[in-house]
Amino acid sequence: MEQLVIHGGAGSLEGKTTEAQIMHDSLCKVWEETFEVLQKRTAEDAVRYAVRMLEDDPVYNAGTGSKLQADGQIRMSAALMDGTNNRFSGVINVQNIQNPIEAAALLSGEKHSILSSAQATEFCRTKGIPEYNPETEFRLHEYKSNCAGIHGTVGAVALDKDGHIFAGTSTGGIGCEIPGRVSDTPTVAGTYASTKAGVSCTGIGEQITQQAAAAKVVTRVGDGMLLNEAVTKTMQESDDFNYLYGLISLDSEGHVEVGKTAALSDVFYVFHDGEKIRTFFE
């Protein structure tokens, strides 16, 4: 049976009821449209569809509406992982494209499947991806006022009817970072999948990377641990360092787990538990 879980980042929306409602409605719409895609097509199609929709919504910090780095430039990162074929691909700090997840998907067919910076952007041009300015007035204002705001990395993990698991994540980073910083998103710490499980992370990239979070959860499930145990153990280990991040995950039987460290308020997620839609805004 198909399963799909998506996220629109992590943080606190306490006292921001309007923002929470907007994000909730957006995530539910993305989940519903994407689930239809998943029922007709593949896990890869579904993950790319969901992440594209989220990248195109300026509410999130990915694609259109990405945060600006310290030098005022937007550099985006995205990754896609095919759990069946053990194929990870991604772009790091790519510029001036609309959908970084599509660049990651294009790279999955290449011998060298992860590209960074100018060469990632150049690869997109050679593949016919047009120039696109992802900057929004809101993010420019946020940048000029010391980069406050919600992070809003996006991600999706899908299991299709043939049992294939894909995971995808896309981010504009943390805002005002040193130009060239590499987040967890385009690494196996932030995005990982196997035939047994898939994970997409959100939160402070350095901390997610230091915990090898996504790969660790997936490996634990591969070694026989239940998904909920794998997520709980990984979060507990991260709590030893007071880390701030969360993740969405699913396994080959369709179980979904949303995990977060104790210091994190919320992961902005949506999935269906078999009876009803479950969201962060309940």
Residues 134-173 within binding reach of ligand GLY (CB under 6 A) = 153, 171, 173
**Distance of closest approach, residue 76 Cβ to ligand GLY, in angstroms:** 10
Q: Is residue 203 within the footprint of ligand GLY (CB under 6 A)?
A: yes
Separation between Cα atoms, residue 21 and residue 82, nearest integer Å: 32
Q: Is residue 47 within the footprint of ligand GLY (CB under 6 A)?
A: no
Sign of CA dihedral 59, 186, 177, 120: negative
Measured from the Cβ of residue 144, the count of other Cβ atoms closer than 10 Å reads: 10
Q: Is residue 205 within the footprint of ligand GLY (CB under 6 A)?
A: yes
Q: Is residue 202 within the footprint of ligand GLY (CB under 6 A)?
A: yes
Residue pair 47/156 in contact by the 8 Å Cβ criterion: yes
Q: Write out the two tokens for 26.
A: 């957006």
Near ligand GLY by CB under 6 A, which window of 32-40, 52-60, 85-93, 179-187?
179-187
Residues 182-201 within binding reach of ligand GLY (CB under 6 A) = 183-185
Q: Is residue 174 within the footprint of ligand GLY (CB under 6 A)?
A: yes
Among 34, 64, 121, 153, the one annotated catalytic: 153
**Distance of closest approach, residue 244 Cβ to ligand GLY, in angstroms:** 10
Does residue 34 have an active-site annotation?
Answer: no
The answer for residues whose C-beta is within 8 angstroms of residue 281's C-beta and 6 or more apart is 20, 21, 23, 24
Separation between Cα atoms, residue 237 and residue 85, nearest integer Å: 29
Radius of gyration of the chain (CA): 17
The contact set with ligand GLY (CB under 6 A) reads 153, 171, 173-174, 183-185, 202-205
